[in-house]
Amino acid sequence: MARFIDAIDLPLPIEQAFDYLADFSRTAEWDPGVAEARQLDDGPVRLGTRFHVVVAFLGRRIPFEYEITSYERPQRLALRGRGGSILSIDELTFCPRDGGTRVTYEARLELAGVAQLADPLLHLLFQRLGAISARGLRETIARRCAA
């Protein structure tokens, strides 16, 4: 299993940070590894909301379907996504801080079947991709706040 965890300080109130990240259709705005993302269900984002997310990974486009599995606004959010033989589990916790919110973002990737042989390589690659995504989130929010 590949795992990435980071604490990301955002200059947003906790409710605004939660709402922005809970809308997983916005991941393409801040994660350079996401080629496209859209909500599959009608209505507001809530427990059970599903998203179609296409990840650009090692020269391939891998479609994932994510579902919100925990929605405890504004403290905790969890999503589970599946794309082929890859299971992605994302857990986010939100804590108010002076001038904003600290988001602890933990992402795990699990491979199924023969693909598990690539797990050590995936872990190393996932560390790099996670750091790029976290930087993209920080920069995107900073631009939005400056506008």
For residue range 90-143, list pLDDT tens digits in order.
999 999 998 899 999 999 888 765 444 445 555 556 567 777 788 888 888 888
Q: Specify the higher pLDDT residue, 2 or 23.
A: 23
The tokens of 88 are what? 């992605």
Q: Is-contact 49 75, C-beta < 8 A? A: no
Query: For 49-99, where are the E strands, in sequence order?
Result: 50-57, 60-72, 76-83, 86-97
CB burial readout 107-145, b (16+ within 10 A) else e: bebbbeeeeeeeeeebeeebeebbeebbebbbebbeeee
What was the pLDDT predicted at 63?
Answer: 96
Indicate the pairing of strand 86-97 with strand 100-111.
antiparallel
Domain 2-24+69-146 CATH class label:
alpha beta
- For residue 144, the model assigns a pLDDT of 79
Per the CB < 8 A criterion, the answer to whether 71 and 46 are in contact is yes
